[in-house]
Every structure is written in structure tokens, then in C-alpha cells.
Structure 1
Amino acid sequence: MSPARATGRIGRRIFLVATEESGDRLGAGLMKVLRQRLGDAVDFVGVGGRAMTREGLSPLFAIEELSIIGFAAVLAQLPKILRLIRQTADAVIATAPDILVIIDSPDFTHRVARRVRSRDAAIPIVDYVSPTVWAWRPGRARAMLRYVDHVLALLPFEPDQYQKLRGPPCSYIGHPLIEQLASLRPNAEERARREAEPPVLLVLPGSRRSEIRHHLEVFGQTLGQLQSDGARLELVLPTMPHLVESVRAGVAGWPVEPNIVVGEPEKRAVFRIARAALAKSGTVTLELALSAVPMVTAYRVGAMEAFILRRAIRVSSVILANLVLGNEVIPEFLQENCTPDNLARALKPLLSDTPERKKQVDAFASLDAIMSTGREPPSVRAADIVLATMRRGRQGS
């Protein structure tokens, strides 16, 4: 029995761990609903960023300490990462929460969860955002049975995958993007601009410096080819404040100067008027699809990462929107296939009324039904499962 339960503490204490900005937003939404459910009789402790802090979390450390990308960078920072994992697990045990919620970032959060479960099996653990067990390292699903009580899935096909892989209980709660459809869908005026000339082409090289480094040069060469072929374009490149200088330096030699817009609201505004997009693979492909913006996707990583991923990935597509649709409607060009010739050839038909463009737009029209959660938003469904798991844990302790 953990100390909190032994002392008969009144109220609930919930420990959350989120180490990236996307997880921080999910955690903040969850905390808001949990506070609505539990009132003042709940304390939030753990690891999170600005959004979770605004909802009342006192973070153990700044999540910027873990803003590491790439295998080489991880290896260089490994002692620090391991220290923070130990520090977080120790804090969970010392806090003796009613439940631990780990949010995404499985390389960090799952190591915390395993340590906690080995030291106090009475603490229920919920994993908010499934690791990609359906794409690579499927054995993780079954291993998670030992330290995860419930998985909250953002993608509709994930519960079936957990059942097939004999993992812990998994529930589809809905992707947070389905709560944001109003900001992704154009009004009449924006739809008219989407159809007007010259077409607005979104360029989305990624949200990390390493991704920008890998993609900006080939994207610039692709746009140069389109210009040489006679395409008239209005280029828009959305980015975040901390990446502006890197982006400006990277596009300085482009043959076509993009309009750089900064911030999430500004990005959504140009999504609503864009005719097509050239995008790095990732969650942004699902945003574009929900906005009905046809796209060509690309992905490049370093040689070491490519070597490992080639041997690990077990799905035919790495495009999130393709996986949700169950159909490879979006062209993707990875590593050596990510060339200006390939990208320009696939992108040009999307700029006008062609069968290639229609195929994507028609497929995207089915996403609302595929991703629907009924009337309950994802954060509410997530909170209900967290509370149910917490109550079961308290009753069994």
C-alpha cells in the first residue's frame, strides 16, 4: 500500500509526465476536465510545460531540457536523460499519487513507468498517446502489460492493433485535431482564395532544427523546378518563433522567396486558403487532410537513423493520414527517393483540377466519419478513463 493510501489523505493527487509541447497541450486539456470533475479536491504534480503549468502543475524541471532529436544527440545527452528519468520516478514514489499519467514521449515516459511499477505496483498507470507499436517494435505492446493499465489512443485503428498484439486495454478517445476543425476549415471567402490564382502552396519542412536542415535544400530545389516549368505560385512557409532565424537562413538561396508566417493561428489561417502543400511527414499530414489540402510528403533523416528505421518499420506507409484512411492516397518520398524531380513531378498535378488532386480531396472527405468520437471531445473521454482507472486502483489497494 502506498503512503498516500495508508495515511487516508483526502482528495486526489495526480502525477502527469509530458516532455514535449504536443504532450503538454494534451496534458493541459486533460487537467482542465479533471479539475471540472474533481473540483478543488485534486492536486497536479509532475513534468510538463507552459500549458500544464497554467492549469496548476508545478513542474519538476523545464521540458526544454529534453528537447533532443536524433540518435546522435540522444547518445551525447544520455547521462542527463537517465538522471532525469530517475529523478522523475523518485518523485512519483515520494508523491504517492492516486494515478500516474504518462503522455507520449515513450522513450522517456515508459522508462519512468517501468521504474514506478517495480517499486509500487499499487499506483495505476495510464498511457496517453500510444507508442507506434503498429509501425515498429510491435513487441512493446505485450511488454506494456507489465506496467500500463490502460492506453488512450489518438488514432482509430490502434485499439485493434493492441488486441492483435496482446497488449494492455486500449481505447480510442479521438485525436485532438477533431476538436479544432473550425480552425482548419475555410469559410466562403477563404475557399474562394483557395481556388483563385496564383495558387497558395504551403511549404512545411518540419518543426525541429534537424528536420529543417534535412528538408529545406531539397524543398527549395523542388520549387525552383516548378518555377522553371512555368508554375506561378504564392509560397507560404509557416514556422514557430524559435525557428524563424534557422528558416530564414535556410531559404536565403531559394529561387522563389516564401512568405514566412509565425505561430499556430497564422499557420491555421494559411491552411484554410492553401491549394496544395509540400510537407515533411508527421502529424501535419493529418492537419492538412482535415483541411482538405492535397499534399506531397517527404522525409529525410541522417544515415544512422535511416539504417535503423529501414530495419524496424513494419508498415507500408509512414504518412499518418494514409494510415488513418487505410489507403495510400498521399504520395511519399523517403530518403534517396526524396529528390527535386520526384517531388516536383508529384506536386504539379495538385495545383490544378486533375484526377490526382480529386483522388486526395475525395479521400479526405471520409476522415470526419472515420475519426468521429460522437458528442464527447477527446479530453473528456480521456478524463473519464483516467478517473475510472484511478478508482479501480484505489479500490484494489
Structure 2
Amino acid sequence: MSRFNLFKQSCSTWMGCKRITFFPSSVKELSFDKNVDVNLFETTIRILGGLLSCYHLTGDQLFLDKAKDLGSRLMPAFKTPSKIPFSDVNIGKGTAHPPRWTSDSTVAEVTSVQLEFRELSHLTQDPQYQDAVNEVMRLVHRLPGKHDGLVPMFINTNSGQFSHKGVFTLGARADSYYEYLLKQWIQGGKTEDELLEDYLQAVEGVKKHLVRQTGPGRLTFIGELSHNRFNPKMDHLVCFLPGTLALGVHSGLPPDHLDLAQQLMETCHQMYKQMETGLSPEIAHFNMQGDEVLTAASPADRHNLLRPETVESLFYMYRFTKDGKYRDWGWDILQNKCFIVYFPSRNHLLHSCFFFLGETLKYLYLLFSDDEELLSLDKYVFNTEAHPLPIWFFFSCRLLHFNV
């Protein structure tokens, strides 16, 4: 990964923290005219989202020009029989394709590029980007195969139908679908009823099918459902949910969502606290009957990738409740990360820096900042890589009237 891509990933962190006012000269030389396959989802949330965010934070037209160039090069992904995008795009040749082993895309990936493409249309007054991603949301909204608002993990790009049905999770391959339902609704000024309907239905589905409590500890957690069989495992990724629920309540949604958010936040905290290192495993397994709350994770699950989800939710919870314990928990996590973390190789460093510089450090800084106008949650919505994008109605921008 180039130094520019690392800068782009963390640009809004340093700008948001008011720590830099300059840009590397390599930004001007940046070219996307490369014969290379990229992942639509990863490139959108990291590079496109980063460029759009840097444009808003700096006012430098260069970032918007680069964003438009990249967004246009990603558009071939949407040229499928179903309008559900392929996972991979060659940004030099203008071709797109699914992975070699399947014609499926993950639901999280195809429904978590919307904030960025919508914002690109909003800024350029070119509707093609928003039209493409809105069509995906319309299709998913109407699809059979949901389970009280919960969606399967995969969707076929040829048929446009869910595949591998019967498995429901808020972890990998589905997580940001739920996050982006709420955030698109907020981004657009709370006017798109289908997004709100799908989000509220999903929250009820989560409470009905995936929420459980441990035995003596009475920790509330989110498990997984596989063909009606419950699995008491929770990815660290799921710790995005307390913050998302709290953001929804702040935006006028049912107050009882905050009760669930507070319970889940306690659980995410315990996923750190109960570990010997003070760092959460990638996946936690819960004991619903015995004395021990967290059971031993498998060796493959015991690592920590410096993921941001827990500190992200701590930031939201503190902003909305002002309860100092959330800052205390964040401080404990920061100390443990600084004490324990080391990078055995350059590749490991660069991979972890995506999360650590672009998201984890940003949310920790915002958690400890007393300036609530710094990236105010009444003015900005964060994409799933923590890049702030403006809420349209707050900034009184003229909305495009696309086919919604």
C-alpha cells in the first residue's frame, strides 16, 4: 500500500484533529489509470470516502476531482444483469467481474457504498452515481428471504436474489448493511422512508432472534442464527451496534434502543476487560449457562486487529449520554493497545494502520475531546471507515431530485 493511500485513509483523522494543514505533493500526481483489479467496497469506503471527506474538510477542489475520477472508474461494477454490483473492478480497463470462485457478492459490500456514491452525486450534480446505489437499495428492500428484517450474507449478481439463505449475523458480510440503512436516512435529511422502515424492522429482528444473555453475568450479546440454530458467538465487528443504536435514538428513533445500546456496550467492554491482555479477541464465545461468562476462544480467534468498533461506539455513547465511564473504558483500551501492540512485519503494520490510523485513533481522539462541535453528529455522518460526510439538510445544500 502506497504512502498516499495510507495518508488518504488517515487524512480526515488528522484534519479532524486539526493537526495538519498541508498535503503531500504525491496527491497531485495521483493517477487511477492503472491496469489493476480493486475491490469495489474497500476502494469506495477507504479511498473514495477519504477523498470526499478531505474535500469537505479542506475545500481543496483537487480532492473532489480525484474522487470524481475514481467514482467514474468504479461504475462498471454496476453493469450486471441484476444491477447488484460485481465485487471487483479493473479501474484501468473499465471492466468488472465477481470473484473467481462465485457469482455472489456479500450483502454488506453491495449495500455499504451508498453514502459515498450519493455524496459524489450531490457534489458533482451528476445523478449516475446515486442512481446506481439507490437501485441496489430498492432491490434489496423488495427481496424475499429476509427474516424479520435480517438479511442473509450473500446475494447473486446474476439473479439479484439472496443466496446461502438461512444464516443471519451482524458480523462479517452483513454488519454494515444495518449501519448504512440508518446513516443513509440521516444523510438524506430523514426523508427516505424505505430506509427507515428497513432499519427499524431489522432492529426488531435482532431483538427477537439474535439477542441473548449469559447466565450469572447477565451480559447481553448478539449471537448468530444458522438455519434456526443459535450460535452464542459475537464478532468484535458487532460492537458497532451500540453506537449505531445510540445514533438512531439521537436522531429521533425509539428511546428503548438506547437501553439495548447500553447493555451491549457493557458487553463489548467486558470482551476487553476479561482478557488477560486487556484486548478483545476477534470473536468472543459466550457461556449461557455456566459460571464463566466468556469461554475460551479458538486459537484463530484470539488475535486483536486494532479494530475500531468498540471505541467507535464508546464515542457515540459518551457524546449522547455524557457518562464518564465510557471515557474511562476508552482510556483503558488505549493504554492496553499502546502497551501490548507491536508489528512483526511491515505488511502487518500497513494492514493494521488502516484501522488504527483511519478509525481507531480518530474515535479515541473524539471520545476524549471536549469540543462537541468538532465533527458534530448533527452536521456529519461517518462512513464505515470513519470518514465524515456532511448531512445534506444541515448544510442547506440543494438536493438533487433523483428517482428514489
**TM-score normalized by the length of structure 1:** 0.27
Please, what TM-score do these two structures have when normalized by structure 2?
Answer: 0.27
* Largest Rg, 1 or 2: 1
